[in-house]
Amino acid sequence: MNELNSLVSLFEKNRNEDNAVPMQNYMKNLFPFLGIKAPLRSQLMRDFYKETGILRQEINLGFVKQLWLRDEREYQYAAQDYLVRAIKKIDRSHLPFIENLITTKSWWDTVDILGPHLIGKIAKETPSIIDESIEIWAFSDNLWLKRTSILFQLKYKKETNEAYLYKYITANADSKEFFIQKAIGWALREFSKTNPDSVRQFINEATLSKLSIREGSKYI
């Protein structure tokens, strides 16, 4: 039994229709769910890793792609869990693959893992991709690539490049999209934990939505 069949068998045995309905409702009914809540899913993933040994192998993008193609949302969560656990094997060569994941079956629950974790890791190790790719995302028409450009430094703390952070926020500051306004506020709030003076000055000088200001100002 290959890795995909092993995981599908494990998840199907734990399908719970009673849980699936409220989980689907919470996600605006954009995706069907198996009804496997996060704590149980985490345990099932641990069992899966132990059974298959997949984390000790070369990174398996085919496995990720197969999971992404499946209907139920838990399979995309499983793909992300695998990628994050295998993050040491992720490098700039994987950027197009991750970009495709960001723009496929897109919603905050996938993009906010793929961006800060995977793109953030690649950009820290290979800063040239910022000008080569992330810069383009910030000015693109794709909502989720824009959000990623704002959030990819979310975990950088003192290593945050303020010029890029503020440039990509400013480029999208007039957006009416909730997920962009929220991302701006989130990015500013996180950076304010490291450099409150810089964020305070930026908020005072920039033209931001009320939502972005409220979110970004929580700790300052």
Mean pLDDT of 180-197: 98
Model's pTM, two decimal places? 0.96
Any idea what DSSP says for residue 161?
-
Q: What is the pLDDT of residues 95-106, one digit of tens each?
A: 999 999 999 999
- Judged against a pLDDT cut of 90, whether residue 1 lies above it is answered with no
Distance between CA atoms of residues 42 and 73, nearest Å:
14
Q: What is the pLDDT of residues 105-152, one digit of tens each?
A: 999 999 999 999 999 999 999 999 999 999 999 999 999 999 999 999
| Mean pLDDT, the chain, integer | 98
pLDDT at position 154: 98
Mean pLDDT of 90-94: 98
Mean pLDDT of 188-198: 98
Q: Which CATH number fits domain 1-89: 1.25.10.90, 3.60.60.10, 1.10.1740.110, 3.30.200.20?
A: 1.25.10.90
Residue 107 corresponds to which tokens in the numbers above?
A: 């919603």
Mean pLDDT of 53-69: 98
pLDDT at position 4: 97
Secondary structure (DSSP) of 64-75: HHHHHHSSSHHH
Confidence of residue 15 (pLDDT cuts 50, 70, 90): very high
Q: What is the pLDDT of residues 155-166, one digit of tens each?
A: 999 999 999 999
